[in-house]
Chains A and B, each alone.
Chain A
Amino acid sequence: MSEPVIKIEGLRFSYGSKEVLRGVDLEVPAGSIFGFLGPNGSGKTTTIKVLLGLLKAGAGVCRIGGLDSQKDVMAVRRSVGYMAEDQQMFGWMRVEQIVRWVGSFYPGWDEKFVQELLDFLELPRKSRVKTLSKGQNSRLALLLALGHRPKVVILDDPTLGLDPIARKDFLRYVIGLLQSNQVTVFFSSHLLYEIEPVADYVAILKDGVIAKAGKTDELRQSVKKILLRGAGDIELGSIAGILDVAGIGERIALTIEDYSQAKQEAIEKASKCAIVDEVDLNLDEIFEAYIIGNRGQRVQV
């Protein structure tokens, strides 16, 4: 893993008596597209807002490009491009006005690049923001996040509320714009199929802690679904890394992380069943196993 451009250590945040983040640790390598996954309410947006200094951390350290995001707030915001979840902008402004207005806050605003982006993203310069479609609104928010050519872009559920076509369009623009420029993209979403084709790394946030983080390919290789054929009461409690167990007819489907030859033997020994198949999982299924998996309770077949 190359040098992390975003580093979060022991991040905690409480809202009133509710603990939203309970010790988040995360490293985002420079130049990567990092998928930050989690169900609604898991703390993704809160993590991002703490990263940008919009919320004050209860404990822990967040660094972006070496800057402490709780202490060097203005420097962090100047160096990062941020697109909020369902970003609301000033509806009365025209597209060209809001672009100029936001640009006045960033010393490194690249007007030539922004004009190119306006054409590339097919945004109508003279239209008022309130008249834009949801897709255009998202593309405008993306443009505003990129106009100062940041090295780190944080996109918080950027396709929320978009229809499938607009979502695909948006992702096409994001990839087209960012992948070739060595920009680090921190992309939060709960739509796995949208993250899977683009993310180099993913982290799964569950109940305010990171349940799993790593390279997308490695995660896909390490988490498997094992089909066992057997009968009777099966005890799997001694096997580490079981994410989910489900009975399917006379078979047992076992989702397990860090799958290896040793684990295969341990499973066969513990369950006294033969493994009949190993199935590769997509990110959606892996995510589901981490989030709602039953963690290997006793199974009766």
Chain B
Amino acid sequence: MIKALFWKEWCEQRWKLAYGCVLLIGFVAVGLRSRLVQDDIIIIMAAGGSSVLMALLVGMGLVATERGEGSIEMLLALPVRSWKIFAVKMAMGALVCALPIVGCMVVSLAMAGGREMSTTRIVVAYLGCVAFSIVMLVWMVAFSIRQPSEARAGLVGIGVFMGWVSAILLSMLFFKPPNWFGLVITPLGILVLTFNWMYNVLEWLVAVQLALFVCLLLWGAYRFGKEGMVKV
């Protein structure tokens, strides 16, 4: 049963995975090979850009497409708990977000590991972006789960991201560094923490972020099973 759900999600998401891999790994390979700019710029662009791009791309299609096409009702009418369907969707979504970034990491390590950046810095940068991408996916899906089309889910995703950036910028007006508010309130904190982990590991901030992540995941699962998903 779970295998069948994974198979369906895999078939629906594999094209996005292929697109993300070709686009992002290609960009990293060309950027690092050309050496027109420093390696860290290419790596930060690839890791940061891919985390947002993949979260948006995957988050738009995970639930909203099925709502738009009407196939969600068939899915929810099957003899399988709705939270299981949601869990499989999120697991596959996380995988599709993570794999292109991991692919970029492998290519970066192979082409530029230790050249200008240490291999540890490269791995940390990419894994931080994997975490960020998955967090953004969860936020986006949790808030856009009732949206009836991909376009509207995409708007919610962009709104979530811009909301984080705005919250960070606003908080900088009121808090001197280190800006705890900015780190706690938005998942961008994960990125900040990851890039600075060697200097200032703040376990409690990671714990707050994780708690928020789990709450949103549960909220998403709860809303996915509620009757608002089905037309009356």
Question: Is B198 interfacial (CB 8 A cutoff)?
Answer: no
B71's nearest neighbour on chain A, judged by CB, is A88
B232's nearest neighbour on chain A, judged by CB, is A15
Question: Is B81 interfacial (CB 8 A cutoff)?
Answer: yes
Contact B79 A52 (CB under 8 A): no
Interface flags for B56-100 (1: CB within 8 Å of A; 0: not) read 000000000000011101101111110000000000000000000
Contact B232 A49 (CB under 8 A): yes
Number of residues on chain B facing chain A (CB within 8 A):
22
Of A56, A77, A89, which is within 8 A of B71 by CB? A89
Q: Which residues of A contact B73 (CB under 8 A)?
A: 54, 84, 87-88
The stretch that binds B, out of A99-107, A174-182, A227-235, is: A99-107
Assess A77 versus B79: contact at CB under 8 Å? Given A49-B230, A55-B230, A101-B4.
Answer: yes
Q: Which residues of A contact B33 (CB under 8 A)?
A: none
Question: Is B173 interfacial (CB 8 A cutoff)?
Answer: no
Contact A78 B79 (CB under 8 A): yes
Question: Is B37 interfacial (CB 8 A cutoff)?
Answer: no
Q: Which residues of A contact B70 (CB under 8 A)?
A: 86, 88
Question: Is A91 interfacial (CB 8 A cutoff)?
Answer: yes
Interface flags for B217-230 (1: CB within 8 Å of A; 0: not) read 00000000001001
Q: Which residues of A contact B232 (CB under 8 A)?
A: 15, 20, 45-46, 49, 55
Assess A84 versus B7: contact at CB under 8 Å? Given A49-B232, A55-B230, A56-B227.
Answer: no
Which of B4, B11, B71, B77 is packed against the most chain A CB atoms within 10 Å?
A: B77
Contact B80 A105 (CB under 8 A): yes
Contact B81 A74 (CB under 8 A): yes
Question: Is B152 interfacial (CB 8 A cutoff)?
Answer: no
Q: Which residues of A contact B231 (CB under 8 A)?
A: 45
Contact A84 B77 (CB under 8 A): yes
Q: Which residues of B contact A78 (CB under 8 A)?
A: 79
Within residues 40 to 58 of chain A, which ones have a CB less than 8 A from any CB in chain B? Answer: 45-46, 49, 52, 54-56
Contact A91 B230 (CB under 8 A): no
Of A20, A56, A88, which is within 8 A of B69 by CB? A88
A181 vs chain B, min Cβ distance (A) = 21
By DSSP majority rule, is chain A's interface helix, strand, loop, or mixed?
loop
Interface flags for A99-123 (1: CB within 8 Å of B; 0: not) read 0011011100000000000000000
Which of A54, A74, A78, A92 is packed against the most chain B CB atoms within 10 Å?
A: A54
Assess A74 versus B79: contact at CB under 8 Å? Given A54-B230, A55-B230, A104-B4.
Answer: yes
Assess A55 versus B77: contact at CB under 8 Å? Given A15-B232, A101-B8.
Answer: no
Question: Is A82 interfacial (CB 8 A cutoff)?
Answer: yes
Within residues 205 to 237 of chain A, which ones have a CB less than 8 A from any CB in chain B? Answer: none
Q: When chains A and B are docked, how far (Å) is the Cα of A77 from the Cα of B11? A: 25
Q: When chains A and B are docked, how far (Å) is the Cα of A106 from the Cα of B79? A: 7
Q: Which residues of A contact B12 (CB under 8 A)?
A: 92
A contact set with B: CB distance below 8 Å = 15, 20, 45-46, 49, 52, 54-56, 74, 77-78, 82, 84, 86-93, 101-102, 104-106
A–B Cβ pairs within 8 angstroms, 28 of them: A15-B232, A20-B232, A46-B232, A49-B232, A52-B77, A54-B73, A54-B77, A55-B232, A74-B79, A74-B80, A77-B78, A77-B79, A82-B77, A84-B74, A84-B77, A86-B70, A87-B74, A88-B69, A88-B71, A89-B71, A91-B69, A92-B11, A101-B8, A104-B1, A104-B3, A105-B4, A105-B78, A106-B79
B contact set with A: CB distance below 8 Å = 1, 3-4, 7-8, 11-12, 69-71, 73-74, 76-81, 227, 230-232
Inter-chain pairs besides A52-B77, A88-B73, A105-B80, 14 sampled, C-beta below 8 Å: A20-B232, A45-B231, A46-B232, A49-B230, A54-B230, A56-B227, A74-B81, A77-B79, A78-B79, A87-B74, A88-B69, A92-B11, A105-B1, A105-B4
Closest 4 CB pairs of A and B: A88-B70, A77-B79, A104-B4, A78-B79
